[in-house]
Amino acid sequence: MKTTDPNYLKVVAKTFRIVEELMRDGSGISLSELSRRNGHPKSTVYRILYTLKKLGWVQQDSGSETYRLSNKIRGVDRDDSIKTLKRLARPWMQRLLVSFEQTVNLAVLDGSKLLYIEMLEGLRSIRMAATVDSYVPVYSTALGKAILAFLPAEESERILRATRLKKWTHKTITSIRGILADCKKAREIGYALDDQESEMGARCVGAPIFNSEGLPIAAISISAPDSLVPDTEVPIVGKAVMSACMEISALLGFQRQST
Contact 68, 19 (CB under 8 A): no
- Which of these, 179, 110, 170, 178, lies nearest to 142 by C-alpha position? 179
pLDDT at 137 (0 to 100): 86
pLDDT at 187 (0 to 100): 95
On whether residue 257 sits in a domain, the answer given is no
| Strand intervals (E) in 13-172 | 29-30, 58-60, 66-69, 103-110, 113-120, 135-137
pLDDT at 86 (0 to 100): 92
| Statement to judge: residues 69 and 111 lie in one domain | no
On whether residue 1 sits in a domain, the answer given is no
pLDDT at 167 (0 to 100): 93
Quote the number of domains for the chain: 2
| Statement to judge: residues 64 and 85 lie in one domain | no
| Statement to judge: residues 60 and 84 lie in one domain | no
| Statement to judge: residues 84 and 63 lie in one domain | no
| Statement to judge: residues 69 and 86 lie in one domain | no
| Statement to judge: residues 143 and 173 lie in one domain | yes
Provide the 10 A C-beta neighbour count for residue 51: 13
| Statement to judge: residues 162 and 205 lie in one domain | yes
What does each C-alpha distance from 72 to 63, 77, 95, 110, 176 come to in angstroms?
22, 10, 33, 9, 26
Burial class (CB in 10 A: 0-12, 13-18, 19+), 27: exposed
User: Residue 55's domain is classified under what CATH number?
Assistant: 1.10.10.10
On whether residue 259 sits in a domain, the answer given is no
On whether residue 2 sits in a domain, the answer given is no
On whether residue 226 sits in a domain, the answer given is yes
Task: Name the 3-class secondary structure at 11.
Answer: helix
On whether residue 258 sits in a domain, the answer given is no
On whether residue 4 sits in a domain, the answer given is no
| Statement to judge: residues 58 and 131 lie in one domain | no
Instruction: Tell me the residue range of the domain where 187 lies.
Output: 78-251
| Statement to judge: residues 211 and 231 lie in one domain | yes
Report d(CA 94, CA 75) in Å as an integer: 27
| Statement to judge: residues 63 and 109 lie in one domain | no
Report d(CA 163, CA 148) in Å as an integer: 13
| Statement to judge: residues 16 and 89 lie in one domain | no
Per-residue pLDDT of the chain (259 residues; tens, 9 = 90+): 455 677 778 888 889 888 888 877 666 788 998 999 888 899 999 999 999 988 888 888 766 788 888 766 555 556 678 888 999 999 999 999 999 999 999 999 887 788 899 999 887 656 666 778 888 889 999 999 999 999 988 889 888 988 889 999 999 999 999 999 999 999 999 999 999 998 898 899 999 999 888 889 999 999 998 888 888 999 999 999 999 999 999 998 888 765 4
User: Residue 134's domain is classified under what CATH number?
Assistant: 3.30.450.40
HEC sequence for 25-50? CCCCEEHHHHHHHHCCCHHHHHHHHH
What does each C-alpha distance from 29 to 20, 39, 52, 65, 206 come to in angstroms?
12, 15, 14, 8, 33
On whether residue 125 sits in a domain, the answer given is yes
Chain CA centroid to CA 143, Å: 9
| Statement to judge: residues 70 and 104 lie in one domain | no
Of 37, 57, 74, the residue that ends a domain is: 74
